[in-house]
Amino acid sequence: MKLLLPACLALAVLLTACGGAATPQELLDSAQGALTAGNYEKAAGDAVAAGAAAAASGDDNLAWRAKSVELLALGKQGDGASLLVVLKAAEAKWADKVDPKFLTRLITELDKGNDIPGAIAVLGHGVERFPESKAQFDKFGAMLAEKAKSAGDDAGMKQLQQLGYLGG
């Protein structure tokens, strides 16, 4: 995954320079199709390429849509570590788009992708960033607490305890 994303970005730049590139919208359509088909690595790679092409053309709205597809693909893939890095970079540019509702969607995708530690990390990030919206995160905290307990995930349980989802 770590090599695929830079390779896709380089390919998008190269194709653009040669005049044979797909448009940013076509790249995003490809990413969304791959996401729907369950090809999350391709979805993430195409989303990165779409975002780069959109940014190069000045289309900030399409660049955000591509970034959201990339984040969802990383979540579905169960790659919480990469998702958190990309998420923090996205928040720097699109702070208004990354709201509690979007974060809970990412937590859900990480859970479905069997990355409970990643889901807990995004939960912690959300509670820290939006303390006034902690109630929106509570059902996810309770669900993740049950899963961490069942899995015997001591580190996850400790993190959830610090967030207030497990008794002291």
Q: Taking the CB of residue 102, how many other CB atoms lie within 10 A of it?
A: 17
d(Cα 126, Cα 121) in Å, to the nearest integer? Answer: 9
86-115 pLDDT, tens per residue?
Answer: 999 999 999 999 999 999 999 999 999 999
How many structural domains compose the chain? 2
The answer on 74 and 35 residing in a single domain is yes
DSSP H or E stretch at residue 161: helix 154-162
The answer on 9 and 66 residing in a single domain is yes
4-51 pLDDT, tens per residue?
Answer: 455 444 444 444 444 566 899 999 999 999 999 999 999 999 999 999
Domain span at residue 138 reads 99-168
**Which residue stretches of 94-152 are H helix?**
100-112, 116-129, 134-151
The answer on 140 and 67 residing in a single domain is no
Which of 79, 114, 140 marks a domain boundary? 79
Q: Taking the CB of residue 130, how many other CB atoms lie within 10 A of it?
A: 15
Place of tokens 């998702």: 83
- Would residue 89 count as lying in a domain? no
pTM of the model: 0.84
Residue 164 has a pLDDT of 87
